[in-house]
């Protein structure tokens, strides 16, 4: 009688690993619950970005104290951001409001960056500005004038001396 060999009985096939893999138990699919429409909104309609000018002398450690924000804190909401610029341009910081209400604000410091000092030329002028004499002061014209060099705009005129013009330039909002 003729005997048929099956693959499991074949001498060569017995020593080689099987190409069939054992069935693995399938995990139930993870069901993702979609977000509701009310969970998504424009950032501007939910959270605000504030900008604050911080007085000279306030340190990095003091900027997160609730007392600093006590007068304006009723405007803040959780997860608002506050961009802080020191009045003397010495630093920039970003704060995150965790909680706020009337008279208190719980904020954390996200980032703090000390800024380089404004470079001043030998004449005491910040770069990009010029002070020149335009003749005697008559009806608000003439005198010492301040000119922005990048676009040629005459920022102010009629100063009685160069020091007055320089003081006006250094105190102007353009340099803050």
Reported as a single tens digit per residue, the pLDDT across 93-140 is 999 999 999 999 999 999 999 987 655 554 567 777 888 888 887 776
Between 136 and 10, name the one with better pLDDT. Answer: 136
| pTM for the model | 0.51
Nearest alpha carbon to residue 120 among 166, 62, 55: 166
Radius of gyration of the chain (CA): 35
Residue 133: give the domain boundaries: 129-175
12 pLDDT band, cuts 50/70/90, is low
Are residues 95 and 60 part of one domain?
yes
Q: Is residue 1 part of a domain?
A: no
Q: Is residue 82 part of a domain?
A: yes
- Number of domain units in the chain: 2
User: From CA 102, how far away is CA 71, in angstroms rounded?
Assistant: 8
Contact in structure between 157 and 145 (CB atoms under 8 Å): yes
Are residues 49 and 110 part of one domain?
yes
């Amino acid at each position: 009688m003729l005997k048929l060999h099956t693959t499991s009985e074949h001498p060569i096939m017995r020593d080689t690993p099987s190409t069939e893999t054992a069935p693995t138990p399938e995990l139930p699919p993870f069901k993702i619950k979609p977000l509701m429409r009310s969970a998504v909104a424009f950032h501007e309609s939910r959270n605000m970005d504030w900008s604050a000018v911080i007085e000279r002398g306030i340190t990095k450690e003091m900027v997160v104290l609730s007392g600093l924000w006590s007068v304006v804190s009723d405007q803040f909401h959780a997860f608002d951001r506050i961009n802080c610029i020191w009045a003397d341009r010495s630093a920039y910081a970003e704060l995150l409001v965790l909680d706020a209400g009337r008279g208190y604000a719980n904020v954390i410091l996200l980032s703090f960056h000390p800024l380089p000092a404004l470079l001043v030329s030998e004449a005491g002028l910040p770069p990009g500005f010029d002070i020149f004499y335009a003749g005697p002061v008559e009806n608000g014209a003439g005198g010492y004038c301040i000119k922005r060099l990048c676009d040629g705009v005459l920022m102010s005129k009629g100063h009685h001396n160069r020091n007055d013009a320089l003081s006006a330039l250094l105190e102007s909002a353009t340099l803050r």
